[in-house]
Copies of this chain bind each other. A is one copy, B any other.
Amino acid sequence: MSTPNVSGAASPPTGATAASRVFDALKQDLIRGRFAAGEKLAIGSLKTRYQVGLSPLREALNRLAAYGLLEQVNQRGFRVPPLRLDELDDIADLRSQLECMALTQAFQNGDAEWESLLLAAHHRLRRADERPQEVEEWEQAHLRFHRTLLAPCGSPWLLRFIEQLHDQFDRYRRLAPPNPEVREVLDRQHGELVQLAMERRIEQARALLDEHIGLSHGVARGACSAS
């Protein structure tokens, strides 16, 4: 295992270029809803905001557009995708399907090492649950928990798509008004998922994961005004 990465998201441990740093920062800001949905991005002000020149900034914007976190129109720059209810439904439904696929494979491939990593990830998530003021801590622990759950599925492309959908989904979820009651249920489900994983009860786990995403989907829908 290489140098563990303490920082936030997916990470460039060595030789971060300006372009990759802006990419990471901008990606986080987009997912965290720091820009208004549908907003046109003024490249000039982004230059100031992220303290970089045009070239690395434009490279980052191009990557994000290819990834689906920005919309690019040929001679008129970049804009933040609008929040659309039908798109959220698409994202959530597909996420359920793909994550259930991955979960099945993960249950087959996961070994004792995986079980202990999952327990550890769950523990950190519970710790983060206790400090509701540290939102980003919780977000990171939550993301890692779900990653760990599916990690041994054996399909890099499936994991890639799931990650992409998760990023899309989170943009909606983080913009939606919080719902403490649902949140409590969601938190409990994480523990139940761990339990089912240990016992490899795939059918129940699939049903629970589907319900988990469905509940979160319901909350995330609050981010949309009209469809």
Contact = CB atoms under 8 A, between A and B. Distances in A.
Nearest to A67: B66
A140 to B, nearest CB: 23
A96 to B, nearest CB: 12
A63 interface: yes
Tallying the copies of this chain within the complex gives: 2
Interface residues of A, number: 36
B97 A101 contact: yes
Nearest to A59: B62
Contacts of A97: 101
Interface in A25-75: 55, 58-60, 62-68, 74-75
A120 interface: no
B74 A16 contact: yes
Contact of A17 (B14, B67, B75): B75
Nearest to A16: B74
A129 to B, nearest CB: 30
A141 B17 CA distance: 41
14 contacts: A14-B74, A15-B75, A16-B74, A19-B62, A59-B59, A62-B63, A63-B65, A64-B66, A66-B67, A87-B156, A90-B154, A91-B157, A93-B155, A161-B161
Interface of A: 12, 14-17, 19-20, 55, 58-60, 62-68, 74-75, 87, 90-91, 93-94, 97, 101, 154-158, 160-161, 165, 168
Given A62-B63, A94-B157, A94-B158, 20 more contacts: A15-B75, A16-B74, A17-B74, A17-B75, A19-B62, A20-B74, A59-B62, A62-B62, A62-B66, A63-B63, A63-B65, A64-B66, A68-B160, A87-B156, A87-B157, A90-B154, A90-B156, A90-B157, A94-B155, A157-B168
